[in-house]
Amino acid sequence: MNYGIPTSVTINGTDYEIRSDFRVILEIIEMLNDPDLDQRDKGECLLTMFYLHAEQLKPADIEQAVAECYRFIDMDDSHPKKKSARIVDWEQDFNYIIAPVNRVLGFEARACEYLHWWTFMGAYMEIGGDCLFSQIVNIRDKQARGEKLEKHERKWLNRNRGLVELKSRFSEKDNEMLKQMLGGG
């Protein structure tokens, strides 16, 4: 068992230093959700953002390098993931996530020079109770599962719909097409 937090990954016997700060991983997640990037661009960006010396990766190791990045983001969790509705958007929800993460950590995460992704996620997984982010996620989860909201939840949702509804992301090409269709272009 490894009790440390990794700052490198091993690919075919070679150790590669990684960028393990939570901000870098959130930027990678944001990039992966960018509808304007194709899969090739996303792959290249992922390697460049995650590996300190991506240029040293051997072509034969690229597929495993991508897999190691995802494994790191998932915190080495090899359990099969059950497909479920998306109820968190890191970019949209960050301002509501950071306050309870700070409360769990006991300090302002954004102010520290470095905070390992796994440490950040450990605090994130401890978010609970009566905080704004918990309310948002609870309502999204109930809606995703088709559960009826309680009266107080419906009232809260009506007042805070903009916080709860996940925004759609369209590529620039899609946005232009929508503008033309709606007569705005």
Q: In the 3-class helix/strand/coil scheme, how is the chain assigned residue by residue?
A: CCCCCCCEEEECCEEEEECCEHHHHHHHHHHHCCCCCCHHHHHHHHHHHHECCHHHCCHHHHHHHHHHHHHHHCCCCCCCCCCCCCCCCHHHHHHHHHHHHHHHHCCCHHHCCCCEHHHHHHHHCCCCCCCHHHHHHHHHHHHHCCCCCCHHHHHHHHHCHHHHCCCCCCCHHHHHHHHHHCCCC
pLDDT at 134: 93
* 69 & 120 share domain: no
For the cut 70, the answer to whether the pLDDT of residue 108 exceeds it is yes
* 95 & 160 share domain: yes
* 154 & 96 share domain: yes
Q: Which of 2-11, 83-92, 152-161 has the highest mean pLDDT?
A: 152-161
Q: Is the dihedral of CA 5, 8, 9, 12 positive or negative?
A: negative
**How many Å apart are CA 103 and CA 116, to the nearest integer?**
17
Residues 6+ apart with CB under 8 A from 156: 135, 139
Answer whether residue 137 is part of any domain: yes
The more confident residue out of 172 and 105 is 105
Contact, 127 vs 154, CB < 8 A?
Answer: no
For the cut 60, the answer to whether the pLDDT of residue 185 exceeds it is no
Answer whether residue 3 is part of any domain: no
* 56 & 101 share domain: no
Q: Which domain holds residue 31?
A: 8-73
* 68 & 97 share domain: no
**How many Å apart are CA 56 and CA 184, to the nearest integer?**
47
Q: Please choose, from the candidates 112, 101, 95, the residue with its C-alpha nearest in 3D space to the C-alpha of residue 163.
A: 95
Number of domains, the chain: 2
What pTM does this model have? 0.85
- Average pLDDT score, the chain: 90
Residue 169 CB: number of other CB atoms within 10 A?
A: 14
The tens digit of pLDDT for each residue in 33-81 reads 999 999 999 999 999 999 999 999 999 999 999 999 999 999 987 666 6
Answer whether residue 158 is part of any domain: yes
**How many Å apart are CA 25 and CA 94, to the nearest integer?**
13
* 63 & 100 share domain: no
pLDDT at 80: 63
pLDDT at 140: 95
Answer whether residue 66 is part of any domain: yes
**Which of 73, 108, 125 is the last residue before a domain boundary?**
73
* 144 & 101 share domain: yes
